Structure 1
């Protein structure tokens, strides 16, 4: 009987020892994971630095009427704090705001070069949003994309500035009238089949065609 008690007692000690060892491993892993998440958070927090103000006059003026661009830049201005979850929520909000930029472009900027720059900007923002929501967040890639988004935003604003400056160039005298004349001439060209040039037809056919005959519409 005593041998059984010793065996049971030894087994309980062994199980307790194993549980303690597992708990220590789990605590060590949790501490390691927490330290890793802290480093990721600090890196993203440090690298989360967007150009949230217009870099040129054109953008500053445009955001007064381009409401979607103004809201997008306001979203960039509000930097998250405290947790990685806050950065994930902010990334969601930025992604939603950037998606509507290509559907509400003012007439002055509604040009292919502007649309292409916005599309690239959308792609960069969506990539950043995807990476920051991964279980194992690649913080270096997120920070890298923040920099790329800034570059695309600066390029977009410079392109807007070019279009604004071009719109200020005065139209030369008579240029508008010439454009209207060319447009009216183009509209006046009939869409129906053209009469053949008699000189290019065989002699037998030229004898039949009389240029003074009334034209049948």
Structure 2
């Protein structure tokens, strides 16, 4: 009889503790859902990219540089409804940013442009990394979106500078001077070893 009472008390105790665990789990799930909703709202509010060209050169390059046009079109489409939509969009933007390096028009194939594209691509990859974390740092994502916008403006202004420099006419003899200053055409500075046999 005593064993039955002890068994009954232990069953009641176990059932009671399971109910408490379920209530804690439900409360934690509700708290997590509210947190994810707040993160989603913060990201949605901050997700505004400069998808229209700021400078004249960037606007004219849309017709000749297909990757640039596709990249800006991808930035223009804002995801909606869920965090996973933002994650998918971030991955798509990353792919388009990496593609920018593949077919840079000859006019813009300069180290200043390439370095700005590299920095922009790095920032976008960081955004993609942070948005795919389990605990999404919404403040860091907001900061990265602002930094990406600054890099976009910097790239477009550099494109404008390149176009302006190309409009400057070259002076007489300038091309010959550039050829003379070209390091690839210079005579190599070779140290002659006196111990090596020579044919005279």
Q: TM-score band, normalised by the shorter chain?
A: 0.7 to 0.9
**Partner in structure 1 of residue 56 of structure 2:** 57
SS in 1 for 2:101: helix
Q: What does residue 94 of structure 1 align with?
A: 93
Q: How does 1:129-168 map to 2 (within 5 A)?
A: 129-168=128-167
Residue 185 to residue 18, structure 1, CA distance change in 2 (3 Å): closer
- Give 1:81 shift: 0.4
TM-score, normalised by the number of residues in structure 2? 0.84
CA distance in 1, matches of 2:86, 2:166: 40
List 4+ stretches of structure 1 deviating above 6 A.
183-186
| 1:4, distance to aligned residue in structure 2 (A) | 4.0
The 2-side partners of 1:184 and 1:17 are apart by 88
Alignment gaps of 5+ in structure 1: 192-217
Q: Which runs of 5+ in 2 are unaligned?
A: 188-200
Q: Deviations over 1:91-146 (max 9, x none)?
A: 00011110121221111111111111111111111111111111111110011000
1:80 corresponds to: 79
CA distance in 2, matches of 1:184, 1:83: 57
Structure 1 CA distance for aligned equivalents of residues 52 and 178 of structure 2:
42
Q: Which range is displaced more, 99-108 or 35-44?
A: 99-108
- Report the count of equivalent residues: 186
TM-score, L = length of structure 1: 0.78
**Distance (whole Å) between structure 1 residues aligned to residue 117 and residue 25 of structure 2:** 47
CA deviation profile, 1:44-71 (whole Å, cap 9, x unmatched): 1110000011011110100111011111
Residue 215 of structure 1 corresponds to none
- Tell me, what secondary structure is at the counterpart of 2:94? helix
- Residues 71 and 27 (structure 1), Cα distance of their counterparts in 2 relative to 1, 3 Å cut: same
Match of 1:27 in 2: 26
**Counterpart in the other structure of 1:48:** 47
The residue matched to 1:63 in structure 2 has which SS? helix
Change (3 A) 1:108 1:185: closer
